[in-house]
Amino acid sequence: MNGSDQTASTLWYILAIVFVASGLFARRLPMNAVLRMALLWLAIFAGLFGLFRLAESRGWFAGARFADSGVTETDGSPASLPSAQASARSIRIPVAADGHYWVEATINGTPARFLIDSGATMTALSEQTARATGLTIDPIAPGIVMTTANGSIEAKRSSIASLVVGPVRATDLPVVVSPAFGDVNVVGMNLLSRLKSWGVRDGAMELTP
């Protein structure tokens, strides 16, 4: 939590306490009753604050979406993934331990792991994946600016000749590449919208080409 967040939280708690205290005095309760109620509310606020700090320390609030692209920022994919079930008609992707849908795919024949994010407008690649798959990126071409929860970032545009996820095959797929994505690759709506159908069914993400 940065300094501005701490200041805002402190002000919020002060205002909440003032509001509760003014309500208690307005009811004209005996002083001992007011003290008991004040201590009770103080304990409630302290408990809520403790839960918030615990959640923050354990990273339960980690992950922010890019406002323009919808790409999810995460620390990386889980160490292991549940096995996807692919057939000629569809692929079913079970939810991973982190609560997201990850899938093993290939870019121009090179393996790559992707997070499926229906909130992402564009399919996004990390710089490492772009280099490993030999993606062509013009270093002097103007990039695009994306506004994120952590500020603005610049990404480069490119295109994937072939992206394969089980029976799903996409060609000439526009993508964005940026170091701000860390080591995460994301399947976005510009791929999902090409499918016959997609969605969660019985706890698994099902993609039908």
Tracing tokens 């009770």 back to the chain, one arrives at 40
Question: For residue range 64-122, what is the model confidence (pLDDT) as tens digits?
Answer: 344 344 454 455 677 788 889 999 899 999 999 999 999 999 999 999 999 999 988 88
Helices (H), 1-133: 3-26, 31-57, 127-132
Asked if residues 198 and 192 have their Cβ atoms less than 8 Å apart, the reply is yes
Question: For residue range 5-61, what is the model confidence (pLDDT) as tens digits?
Answer: 455 455 555 666 656 556 655 566 576 776 777 677 677 777 776 665 554 444 343
Residues 178-199 as b/e (b if ≥16 CB within 10 A, e otherwise) read bebbeebbbbbbbbbeebeebe
Q: Which of 174, 165, 184 is nearest to 137 (CA)?
A: 174
